[in-house]
Amino acid sequence: MKKVNVTINDIKIAVPENYTVLEAAREIDVEIPTLCHLNLHDLKAVNRSASCRVCVVEIEGRGTLAPSCSTYVAEGMVIKTHTPRSVKARRTMVELLLSDHPKDCLVCEKNQRCELQKLAADLCVREIKYTGAQSTYEIDNSSRSIYRNLDKCILCRRCETMCNEVQTCGILSGMDRGFETVVGPAFGLPMIDTMCTFCGQCVAVCPTAALTEINQIREVWDAINDPEKIVVVQTAPAVRVALGEEFGMEAGTIVTGKMAAAMRRLGFDRVFDTDFAADLTIVEEASEFIHRLRHGGTLPILTSCCPAWVKFFEHQFPDLLDIPSTCKSPHEMFGTVVKTYYAAKMKIDPEKLVVVSVMPCLAKKYEAARPELNTNGMQNVDYVISTREAAKMIREAGINFVDLPDEDFDNPLGESTGASVIFGTTGGVIEAALRTACDWLTGESLEKVDYHQLRGLEGIREGTVKIGDMEVRIGIAHGLGNARRLLEDIRSGKSTYHAIEIMACPGGCIGGGGQPYHGGDEGIIKKRADAIYREDQGKAKRKSHENENVIELYRDYLGEYYGEKAHELLHTSYQKRELI
Amino acid sequence: MIKIKSFNELKELKESLNAQREHIRIIVGMATCGMAAGAGEVFDSIAGEIMRQGLKNVTVVRSGCMGACHSEPTVEIVKPGEDPVLYGNVDSSRAKVIISNHIMRGEIVEELVLEKNYETASLGEVEQ
Amino acid sequence: MSGHKQLRIALRNCGVIDPENILEYIARGGYMALGKILDEMAPEDVIDELKKSGLRGRGGGGFPTGLKLEFARRNEGERKYIICNADEGDPGAFMDRSILEGDPQSILEAMAICGYAVGANEGYVYIRAEYPLAIERLTIAIRQAYEAGLIGDDIMGSGFSFDIKIKYGAGAFVCGEETALISSVEGNRGEPHFKPPFPAEKGLWGMPTTVNNVETLANIPSIFNMGAGRFAEIGTKTSKGTKVFALAGNVNKVGLVEVPMGTTLREIVYDIGDGIVGGKKFKAVQTGGPSGGCIPEQFLDIPIDYESLKEIGSMMGSGGMIIMDEDTCMVDIAKYYLEFTTDESCGKCTPCRIGNKRLYEILCKITKGEGTEEDLDSLKELGGIIKDTSLCGLGQTAPNPVLSTMKYFYDEYLSHVRDKKCPAGICSSLTRYEIIADKCIGCTMCAKACPTACISGKVREPHKIDQAKCIKCGACFKACKFDAILKS
Ligand SMILES: Cc1cc2nc3c(=O)[nH]c(=O)nc-3n(C[C@H](O)[C@H](O)[C@H](O)COP(=O)(O)O)c2cc1C
Ligand code: SF4
Ligand code: SF4
Ligand code: SF4
Ligand code: SF4
Ligand code: SF4
Ligand code: SF4
């Protein structure tokens, strides 16, 4: 890349010509504050609406201040980032935003995690300088996943970029004009009546509390405090590599043991691991794949463990409902197994069992209530809380997370293999499935467990895996926009894949809508991915079908893999949904 | 309308069109402003009157805005070889007077004349 | 040249030809410029000629048209586009509408010329749906031009093809801003984008695009017919040719005027507009529409062009020109324009969405008599920051009416906040009606007119207004035949 010479705050520096002024300033350790700007470069999620005007700087020869996030450097450009004029303008932008903002930080979901709040502090805003009309909108808590309080929206449009450009769902867009401008679904529809997949990526990037999760902490405490109930908690693979961030730990710290300890101290009666169910999912899904391969079934097979992705294809590709695997998602399998097998085994009335999932995901909150996922009239999973909500509970309970000792999960639903851990990142489910499918198809126990060609953050990846004398072509997509591209190829007959993994969230579940806020730093997502593979590496067993608890479950209760009982309990069905 | 296939054909068409110009043109300002002021009725009554009087050498033209919003509807009379005359605040009955006096007898209806306070540039020259 | 103050170039055919008959346009020299260009000029020569003419955009920005075309020519693209901006959203402006209604073919000819110059084969006219007559005539014009082979495939046997389609605007003022316009043509929300990239680099569907205003385009065929040199002789040093204004307000002859650049405001107001209605005193002229400013009497004699207007805190804008007499309240005027811009803001950026709203709220406070001198400081400071930080032209110029009236009519602002008086008697909350006992003959007319029945008094005795109940509607003032009611 050609370099150009610029002068920033009297310091001369050469930077690549495709740099913005903001990026150039970072090179000399000058941080220009931003608010609407978002750049998840490798995930292709870039919001450059240049609308908040917080990042304005002076550029010699220009009449007006320039937004540094979207002004590109040019040869000889002379930039001043912190002149009284630009600092005053910046502060005024924040003051104006605050003049149309509820300012109830003390009782706000986003308190201490809010980018607007931080900016106000950083810019030393000490008075509410402007007053006047404030916009008020109705709260939208129509869904089980997303809470919209547009009074707190600062119109950064990050959610829109995420939903429309990255996820191609087109749910959120700007409406009305002037002071009444607002971001939301067409015709002001509540989220529940839209094609929203509840992937929560809009929530993941919202800088304020305009978009947050529907919080179920209260309900979970009530269950824990109810002496009649036996409350079972399960934690998803991606949670253990992110939860530590909420307590100031370095991104990518693996906190599996502390997490299990914390769950126990919160008062959960049994502390289990969704990873167990991930192994279960793999043996079922690998069996289904082999079945389809051997019996001329529909190919490719698509993974189905991401509920946002499931809802996406139900709306957008109803003609392809026979392609996805019919396997339930891991935490749903888990819930089913708890309320049937486990209840029977432990002689507990299933009505007394409450299953709580700790998930990186907001779609799973919605998924838990899907009626076809009930077993014997009971919801398989009663409550889903996000990684963030779990952290809130841990803080509320006064647990010093950082110093907790490592503890193990309870048995019999606590064992897991390395294969289940990698579920948390893009490419992991298919890699896990291959580890099992390869062994089964060849009838051997293969040495090779690491499929490096399938890893990484590229939006669409593909690879060919040789199993015996068969070449299995694998496709991987994360982010629903990428998924759409793969699906369109299938629809048009261009696709030649045998198996495809799809995750709705960029990066997979480690980048899920319920994870600690990354604040626009995609390095955090990468560190979580690295941690996932480290955890896998460190496991004694790395193939799902070697999980003793899983083997025991089939032996004692389910019978055959992909058999009748397994179908009844572990598989589900899909339905066509409207395009609105 | 035939297709013009070359620049020469365009030039020839222009020449022939201008050679035919011996009609008197009655131009009615019929842009949105004129229409709002009643130019439509004025046009109809002029066209009707021309028919009734059997005037053969007169063309009535629906045109755009003449700029005189203060005196709409406006009507301009262009007689070959004479300076154009612009009338303002024309209504149906005044239109009849203009036809009988100006078109038929050559007498300008002075009290309705608007001063034309602009010149027009076109065709390579700034014409009056 | 004769002694006329007006010179019609853009409006040369308006009111002269039948806009629904292409032959009348051809008879007046229509399509001669395009014919000549396709016959004997290279695209670069066309651009050079336009640069030589000094033509600048009439849509508000005043950017040199030749240069703009050159950028689009230089930028690579699979396809390129020419867009005619006929969105004309300034309140009270109708220059572009008049041209489209009176001479639509000139726009089509000019678009084809621009297309040839930049290497574009497709054009769109973006016209507001509220202009039905203009749309009708434009539609007829496009059909006739296609039939005559003057647009479409292989124009006049030259091998150059150019298609023109109409796109309807939804009537939002901000859709006239070129990046918002492009977004709207693409079927998205009409919302401006940060420039660069400029449309000439990445415009419609990401392709190099030029957006030209209707009046700009209307000048183009004439430039080639009369010669760029002759065109450049008209006007001032920096601004060539003429400008069309929609003259409105308290002037005797309102209407559409086209004057050479460099004409003074006095000439327009007094010679062309025939002075102020009712012989009242001139107070200010507002140019540039909602983005412009108010110009006081002291500048009536400066020759107007892009630069001079900007220097005195206003701008050329698209050509709205509103004359105000002594009975105008400048605070009220500023409030009026700001109300317009806050309503029409797309809401995208903070300074415009919230800042202009706050400015407007402060003005409301002042006109209600609740303002303070600190409010005046706030207006100035916030107005300056909004200009400095807004994303598009709308926000960047919205404070102009406030700032220019504050600059030239500060006393009036002061009376509103200090003395709680509206000198022009417009701000109703600040007006007071009193009955002068000496003049009142007790005719009871005022009491009958008063909607709140707050005037008391016996017949043939002086009446009195109960100030606490008076809603300042002014009915009594109008009803009194004896000048016995004092408005202050
Ligand atoms: C808020 C706003 C509204 C505008 N409205 C119009 C309009 O109605 N018509 C127009 O020609 N230009 C309008 N413009 C200017 C256009 O952005 C653009 O500069 C112009 O169309 C370019 O054409 P020109 O170079 O021929 O003037 C507007 C600009 C802004 C900021
Ligand atoms: S969104 Fe942020 S600034 Fe607003 S109330 Fe909540 S914490 Fe405070
Ligand atoms: S949850 Fe996902 S699909 Fe729904 S609005 Fe947010 S980004 Fe769009
Ligand atoms: S909802 Fe959040 S992300 Fe979306 S525009 Fe508002 S503040 Fe930004
Ligand atoms: S990718 Fe993971 S976190 Fe994201 S919606 Fe799917 S299951 Fe949930
Ligand atoms: S300045 Fe106003 S109209 Fe322009 S982008 Fe900002 S909010 Fe929209
Ligand atoms: S101004 Fe209106 S309300 Fe007041 S006294 Fe006169 S008529 Fe009555």
- pLDDT tens for each residue of B9-46: 999 999 998 887 678 999 999 999 899 999 999 999 99
A366: left (phi over 0), alpha (psi -120 to 50) or beta: alpha
Q: Are residue C167 and residue C269 in the same domain, yes or no?
A: no
Identify whether residues C456 and C361 lie together within a single domain: no
| Residue C4, domain member (yes or no) | no
Whole-number Å distance, alpha carbon A97 to ligand 6 midpoint, is 15
Query: Are C261 and C343 within one domain?
Result: no
Same-domain pairing of C122 and C37: yes
Q: How far is C68 from chain B (nearest CA, A)?
A: 25
Could you confirm whether A58 is annotated as catalytic? no
Task: Give the active site residue among A127, A180, A228, A372.
Answer: A372
Cβ(C307)–Cβ(C56) below 8 Å: no
The CATH number assigned to the domain holding B108 equals 3.40.30.10
Q: Which of A145, A325, A357, A420 is catalytic?
A: A325
Within chain B, how many helices (H) and strands (E) appear? 5, 6
* C3 part of contact set with chain B, CB < 8 Å: no
Tally the domains of chain C: 4
Q: Is A305 a catalytic residue?
A: yes
Residue type, position C135, single letter: I
User: Has A351 been annotated as catalytic?
Assistant: no
Q: Is the dihedral of CA A257, A261, A264, A266 positive or negative?
A: negative
Question: Mean pLDDT throughout C257-263?
Answer: 95
Mean per-residue pLDDT of chain C: 94
Chains contacting chain B through 3 or more C-beta pairs under 8 A = C
Put simply, the answer to whether B27 touches C16 (Cβ < 8 Å) is yes
At B64 the pLDDT is 92
Residues in C 66-105 with any Cβ partner in B closer than 8 A: 94, 97-99, 101-103
Alpha carbon distance C75, C68 (integer Å): 11
In ligand 1, which atom is closest to the CA atom of C65?
25
**Neighbouring subunits of C (3+ Cβ pairs under 8 A):** A, B
User: Domain ranges in chain A?
Assistant: 3-97, 139-214, 217-570
C38 part of contact set with chain B, CB < 8 Å = yes
- Sign of the CA dihedral with B111 first, then B114, B115, and B121 last: negative
Query: Which of C6, C18, C140, C258 should be substituted to probe chain B, the one whose Cβ sees the most B Cβ atoms within 10 Å?
Result: C18
pLDDT above 60 (res C298): yes
Q: Looking at the predicted structure, is the pLDDT value of residue C112 above 70? A: yes
Which of C275, C293, C325 is at the close of a domain?
A: C325
> Shortest CA distance to C183 belongs to which of A40, A182, A173?
A173
A505 an active-site residue?
A: no
Q: Residue C213: CB within 6 Å of ligand 1?
A: yes
| C397 near B CB under 8 A | no
Same domain, C481 and C440: yes
Going by C-alpha positions, the residue among C276, C249, C291, C351 that lies closest to residue C59 is C291
| Among C residues 120-179, those touching chain B with beta carbons less than 8 Å apart | 131, 133-134, 144, 147-150, 156-158
The answer to whether C45 contacts chain B (CB < 8 Å) is no
Chain C residues near residue A53 by CB distance under 8 angstroms: 349-351, 389-391
DSSP secondary structure letters along A334-356: HHHHIIIIIHHHHT--GGGEEEE
Ligand nearest to the CA of A207: 4
Q: Determine whether A364 is an active site residue.
A: yes
C298 and C209 co-located in one domain:
no
Do C221 and C179 lie in one domain? The reply is: yes
Our answer to whether residue A284 is catalytic in this structure is no
pLDDT at C220 > cutoff 70: yes
Chain C residues near residue A50 by CB distance under 8 angstroms:
193-194, 349, 391
Domain boundary among C232, C261, C293: C232
Contact criterion met (CB below 8 Å) for A475 and A458:
no
Is B7 inside any structural domain?
no
The answer to the question of residue B16 being in a domain is: no
- Does A65 reach chain C within 8 Å, measured CB to CB? yes
Give the structural domain span for C452. Answer: 432-487
The ipTM value here is 0.91
Which ligand 5 atom minimizes the distance to the CA of A478?
1
Confirm whether B87 is domain-assigned.
yes
Q: Which CATH class is domain A139-214?
A: alpha beta
Which residues in C lie closer than 8 A to residue B76 (C-beta atoms)?
15
Contact yes or no for C255 and B69 at CB 8 A? yes
Q: Dihedral, CA atoms, C73, C74, C77, C82, nearest 10 degrees?
A: -20
In a domain, C268, yes or no: yes
Counting ligands in written order, the one closest to the CA of C348 is 6
Contact C358 A99 (CB under 8 A): yes
Tell me which chain A residues have a C-beta less than 8 angstroms from the C-beta of C343.
Answer: 177-178
Q: Are A273 and A234 in contact (CB under 8 A)?
A: yes
With residue C214 as reference, give the H or E element that holds it.
Answer: helix C214-226
Q: Do the beta carbons of residue C22 and residue C148 sit within 8 Å?
A: yes
Q: Which atom of ligand 1 is nearest to the CA of C179?
A: 17
The pLDDT value recorded for residue B125 is 39
Torsion of CA A428, A433, A436, A440, to 10 degrees: -160
The proportion of chain A whose per-residue pLDDT surpasses 70, expressed as a percent, equals 100
Rounded CA-CA distance C147/C136 in Å is 17
**Which residue carries 């104006």 as its tokens?**
A96
Establish if C14 belongs to a structural domain. no
Domain-embedded: residue C85: yes
The pLDDT of residue B18 is 86
Residues with Cβ within 8 Å of A466's Cβ and at least 6 positions away in sequence, in order, are A472
Q: Tell me the β-bridge partners of C256.
A: C246
Q: What is the mean pLDDT of residues A65-92?
A: 97
Domain presence at residue B127: no
Q: Is the domain A3-97 a CATH 3.10.20.740 member?
A: yes
Shared domain for C401 and C414, answered yes or no, is yes
The count of other CB atoms within 10 Å of the CB of residue C379 is 22
**Each residue's pLDDT tens digit, A314-362:** 999 999 999 999 999 999 999 999 999 999 999 999 999 999 999 999 9
Q: Does B contact A via 3+ CB–CB distances below 8 Å?
A: no
CATH of the domain at C454: 3.30.70.20
Is pLDDT of A580 > 90? no
**How close is the Cα of C438 to the center of ligand 7, in Å?**
19
A55 CB-near residues (< 8 Å, 6+ apart): A22, A32, A33, A34, A35, A37, A67, A68, A69, A90
C7 closest CB neighbour out of B27, B70, B119: B119
Q: Which residues of C384-399 are buried (b: 16+ CB within 10 A; e: fewer)?
A: bbbbbbbbbbbbbbbb
- % chain C with pLDDT above 70: 99
What are the tokens at A98? 């605050």
User: Are residues C289 and C369 part of one domain?
Assistant: no
Q: Convert A380-408 to b/e letters by CB count within 10 Å (16 or more is b).
A: bbbbbbbbbbbbbbbeeeebebeebeebe
pTM of the predicted model, to two decimals? 0.91
Quote the DSSP letter at residue C348: -
Residue whose pair of structure tokens reads 């939002």 in the numeric block: C172
A482-523 pLDDT, tens digit each: 999 999 999 998 888 999 999 999 999 999 999 999 988 999
What is the rounded distance in angstroms from the CA atom of residue A363 to the CA atom of residue A236?
13
Q: B122: which chain C residues are within 8 Å (Cβ-Cβ)? A: 9, 12-13, 28-29, 222, 225-226
Flag whether C217 is in a domain.
yes
> Is residue B127's pLDDT more than 70?
no
C148 Cβ neighbours under 8 A, 6+ residues apart? B1, B2, B3, B4, C22, C26
Cβ-based burial of A376 (10 A; exposed 0-12, middle 13-18, buried ≥19): exposed
For residue range A154-176, what is the model confidence (pLDDT) as tens digits?
999 999 999 999 999 999 999 99
Task: Say if residue C320 is in the same domain as residue C215.
Answer: no
Last residue of a domain, one of C170, C199, C232: C232
Q: Do C7 and B118 touch (CB under 8 A)?
A: yes
Cβ < 6 A, ligand 5 pocket: A 199, 306, 308-309, 360-361, 363-364, 503-505, 508-509, 512
Q: Cβ contacts (< 8 Å) between A51 and chain C: which residues?
A: 348-350, 391
Q: What residues of B are in contact with residue C37 (Cβ under 8 Å)? A: none
Question: What is the fold of A217-570?
Answer: Rossmann fold (3.40.50)
Domain that holds residue B84: 22-115
Could you give the percent of chain B with pLDDT greater than 90? 62
Contact A504 CB / ligand 3 (< 6 Å): no
The Cα-based distances of B73 to B79, C134, C303 in angstroms read 20, 18, 32
Within a domain: residue B3? no
Q: How confident is the model at residue B124 (pLDDT cuts 50, 70, 90)?
A: very low
CATH number of the CATH domain containing C374 = 1.20.1440.230
Shared domain check, C349 and C307 = no
Q: Does C44 touch chain B (CB under 8 A)?
A: no
Does B10 fall in a domain?
Answer: no
Does residue C442 sit in the same domain as residue C382? no
